[in-house]
Amino acid sequence: MLNRKVLSALGVLLGAAPAVAYDSSYNMPVGVTQIAREVHSLHMIVFWICVAIAVAVFGAMIYSIIAFRKSKGAVADTTMLHSTIVEVIWTTIPVLILVGMAVPAAKTLVRMDDTRNAELSIKITGYQWKWQYEYLGKGISFYSTLGAESNYARQLHSGIDPNTVKDYLLEVDHEVVVPVDTKVRLLLTANDVIHSWWVPDFAVKKDAIPGFINEAWFKSEKIGHYTGQCTELCGRDHGFMPIVVNVVSKEDFARWVADQQAAAKAAAEGAAPTATTATTIAPAASAAAAR
């Protein structure tokens, strides 16, 4: 297992095995959105440009080390110690390469910034150490915390082998459910400290900052489970507040929304006093935390 990965990684390093470059154990995932694909190809383009420059520059260095060594009788040629033309050349060529990189990068950046015409808006609030998801205009709201099995296993001296836990540290009690082929807008904020919401397959990473509302969006083209983690150090359990997004068909999503709304309604009718207390307690608790 380890050997195979090391070998194929060496293959990638040598540029010999582009086919395995998509194995997600050592490269960025291609992702399931248009933006993620663009980001992945930007990443690969810049990577290969770096490889090409490295071949040229390291090649010149290695050639010098081999060819111009005193032990082989090399005598230093001290006649040329500076050359304006050479300096201009090796300033201009990088400028051109950088412009070549900047243009597609800027285009992608503009597209990522465009959160207009979203069909679904979800407000995400980071807490120490969980996420809250509120589906705006749908009356759905829930917290999402680390799954119980992972939570048992991750305790110090738990005696549980993490390898026996399915999706260790990447499973939650309540997954975010979104429809496929739908532009989903995210509104991110936090209640205590700064967190950051990241799902690599969507190429979305945005900080959730108390007092601010940040925007991001994604449009998944593929049904499936996509995982991510908090990526801004947020205290003791920063490593234990994963994100799981379940992308379902539009029909399944409509059914899920109806179920959630029915459940919320039942809960509100059945336990109205509890629900009210819960909402009034939340701001008080957060004010206490802020003190």
Partner 1 sequence: MAHADTHAAHDHDHDHKPSGIGRWLFATNHKDIGTLYLLFALLMFFIGGAMALAIRAELYKPGLQFFDPGFYNSLLTSHALVMIFGAVMPAFVGLANWMIPLQIGAPDMALPRMNNYSFWILPFAFTLLLSSFFTAGGGPAGGWTLYPPLSLQAGDSFPLTIFAIHMMGASSIMGAINVIVTIMNMRAPGMTLLKLPLFCWTWLITAYLLIAVMPVLAGAVTMLLTDHYFGTSFFNPAGGGDPVMFQHIFWFFGHPEVYILILPAFGIVSEIIPTFARKPLFGYDAMVYATASIAFLSFIVWAHHMFTVGMPLAGEMFFMLSTMLIAIPTGVKVFNWTATMWKGSMTFEPPMLFALAFLFLFTIGGFSGLMLAIAPADFQYQDTYFVVAHFHYVLVPGAVFAIMAAVYYWLPKWTGHMYNMRLANWHFWVSTVSVNVLFFPQHFLGLAGMPRRIPDYSTQFTDWNMVSSVGGFVFGFSQILFVILIWQCVRGGAKATDKVWDGLSHGLEWTVPSPAPYHSFDTPPEVH
x/- site string to Cu ion, residues 233 to 272, per CB under 5 A? -x------x-------------------------------
Structure-token match 């997954």, residue found: 175
Distance separating alpha carbons of residues 89 and 186, to the nearest angstrom: 46
Distance separating alpha carbons of residues 203 and 37, to the nearest angstrom: 8
Nearest to 213 by CA among 289, 121, 283: 121
- Rounded least distance, CB 146 to Cu ion, Å: 11
Nearer to partner 1, 151 or 261 (CB): 151
Q: Is 65 in the site for partner 1 (CB under 8 A)?
A: yes
Q: Show Cβ contacts of residue 274 under 8 Å, excluding neighbours closer than 6 positions.
A: none
Q: Is 81 in the site for partner 1 (CB under 8 A)?
A: yes
Q: Is 230 in the site for Cu ion (CB under 5 A)?
A: yes
- Chain residues 141-160 in contact with partner 1, contact rule CB under 8 A: 153-158, 160
Residue 287 interface partner, choices partner 1, Cu ion, none, CB cut-off 5-8 Å depending on type: partner 1
Q: Show Cβ contacts of residue 2 under 8 Å, excluding neighbours closer than 6 positions.
A: none
Q: Give the CA-trace dihedral at 67, 70, 76, 82, to 10 degrees.
A: 60
- Chain residues 211-250 in contact with partner 1, contact rule CB under 8 A: 211-212, 214-215, 228-240
- Compute the chain's Rg from CA coordinates: 26
Binding segment for partner 1 (CB under 8 A), chosen from 172-180, 188-196, 252-260, 274-282, is 188-196
| Interface contacts to Cu ion, rule CB under 5 A | 195, 230, 234, 241
